[in-house]
Amino acid sequence: METEKDPPRLLRALFDAAVAAADPMRRLPALLPPRPAGRVLAVGAGKASARMAEALESVWGPSDGLVITRYGHGRPTQGIEIVEAAHPVPDAAGEAATRRMLALLDGLGEGDFVLALISGGASALLTAPAEGLTLADEQAVNEALLASGAPIGEMNLIRKHLSQVKGGQLAAAAWPARMLALMISDVPGDDPAVIGSGPTVGEAGTAEQAAAILARRDIAVPEAVARVLAGPTGVIAPGDPRLGRVENRVIAAPAQSLAAAAELARAAGYAVDLLGDGLEGEAREVARQHARLALAAKGPRVILSGGELTVTRRGDGCGGPNAEYALALAIALGGAPGVHAIACDTDGVDGAAEVAGALIGPGTLAAARAAGLEPQAALARNDAHGFFAAVGGQVVTGPTLTNVNDFRAILIEG
């Protein structure tokens, strides 16, 4: 295999294999049931939802429905309407499309069937603020949560209790119709209640717990948000009869993507250490831990991991968890010979930038010095994207049309 002689090419090939393994066109058709008789409606949201709709119609043919995806992630469909909206902070286009989706579900009967297509990104794209809140309130909360470094489970519990569609409320809107929700997981543990803030899954966590998270993390929110969290919630509890006709099924997950990358690495002659597909934590801290593992490892070897790292915003730079991980990893490795790495988001978007992530190698720090950059200062500013743009390490894919979250690979040459 030619790539085994070129570590950066092999690392990029591993990432591409991980993305391909989660392509909805590969995963969804084989898992679809026969098209039910009667009225069938497809709804959904997420960065992969348009590709999922395209895959659905490749089997069922033209279908009725509406899905919401991120700007630039649309796909051609035969009947299902694709609406593009903002992510990671919701916008008016997402709110208007969500309200139209709820109107489509209103009045369905027991003989009707709803196919829900849910993937990562649905939390921002599927947006209908709870009574008493405005879109501006929801935007403020999203921005504060994204800057806080809170893990996805905490963020989504808060989002659910500020919404009319998350936390099982989409499924409740479709009741008494039968619903099958097909999901692409971008969350550690692949819990359907966390994917996209669980629009088709009940939630046991309370509004009081959501408010406690905000207080514990000292996250400032509009007064209207505090009032909503102090009042009754619209979130649907597990066991509610309106969820009794819903089946939730994860069709693609990070573990499958890591397995595809591991198979390719082994074929190239590398031993593989798999750290897990559900890693969480501060990106720079996880990077330091992984640097210690890499420096102690004997090659040829590839260390793989997935999950969802976070960044606590400290500066005014442009970055994301994958690029910040790569920058912190390069600093911790200190130019160690024979060690290369890639860290990318499988949706092609790291943070809010149109950059998937970054590649590093033994020469990364030297290239930075030659360009007059101070790596530690860039890390302090959360300016990892700016750093890698200057040293030539950015990985830019464009929309991948799927989303199984972070992909990280460290390659140790023999």
DSSP states along 64-78: EEEEEEETT-----S
Q: What are the residue ranges of helices labelled H in 162-317?
A: 169-174, 207-216, 223-229, 254-267, 283-296
Q: How far apart are CA 187 and CA 210, in angstroms?
A: 19
pLDDT of residue 147: 86
DSSP for residue 32: P
Please give the C-alpha separations between residue 6 and each of 34, 80, 346, 361, 413, in angstroms, as whole numbers: 46, 43, 22, 11, 10
Three-state secondary structure call for residue 117? strand
In 3D space, the residue among 248, 6, 312, 306 whose CA is nearest the CA of residue 115 turns out to be 248
Distance CA 261, CA 409 (A): 9
Tell me which residue of 305, 200, 300 sits closest to 259, measured CA to CA.
305
Q: For the chain, report the end-to-end CA distance as a whole number of angstroms.
A: 16
d(CA 357, CA 326): 8
Residue ranges of domains in the chain: 2-19+255-412, 24-252
Q: What is the DSSP letter of 37?
A: S
Residue 224, Cβ density class (10 Å: 0-12 exposed, 13-18 middle, ≥19 buried): middle
Q: What is the DSSP letter of 46?
A: S
Q: Could you tell me if 119 and 181 are in contact, meaning their C-beta atoms sit under 8 angstroms apart?
A: no
Tally of helices (H runs) and strands (E runs) in the chain: 16, 13
Class of domain 24-252: alpha beta
Question: Residue 121: what are its φ and ψ, rounded to 5°?
Answer: 100, -15
95 residue type, one letter = E
pLDDT in tens, the chain (414 residues): 555 579 999 999 999 999 999 999 999 999 999 999 989 999 999 999 999 999 999 999 999 999 999 999 999 999 999 999 999 999 999 999 999 999 999 999 999 999 999 999 999 999 999 999 999 999 999 999 988 988 989 999 999 999 999 999 999 999 999 999 999 999 989 999 999 999 999 999 999 999 999 999 999 899 999 999 999 999 999 999 999 999 999 999 999 999 999 999 999 999 999 999 999 999 999 999 999 999 999 999 999 999 999 999 889 899 999 999 999 999 999 999 999 999 999 999 998 789 999 999 999 999 999 999 999 999 999 999 999 999 999 999 999 999 999 999 999 998
pLDDT at 2: 55
pLDDT at res. 353: 84
pLDDT, position 351: 87
- Please state, as a whole number, how many other Cβ atoms lie within 10 Å of the Cβ of residue 19: 25
pLDDT at 352: 77
Q: What is the pTM of this model?
A: 0.94
Distance of alpha carbon 290 from the chain centroid: 22
Alpha helices in 297-404 (DSSP H): 321-333, 364-370, 375-380, 384-391
What b/e sequence results for 362-382 when a residue is b if at least 16 CB atoms lie within 10 Å of its CB, and e otherwise?
bebbebbeeeebebeebbebb
CATH of 2-19+255-412, one of 3.40.50.300, 3.10.290.10, 3.40.50.150, 3.40.1480.10: 3.40.1480.10
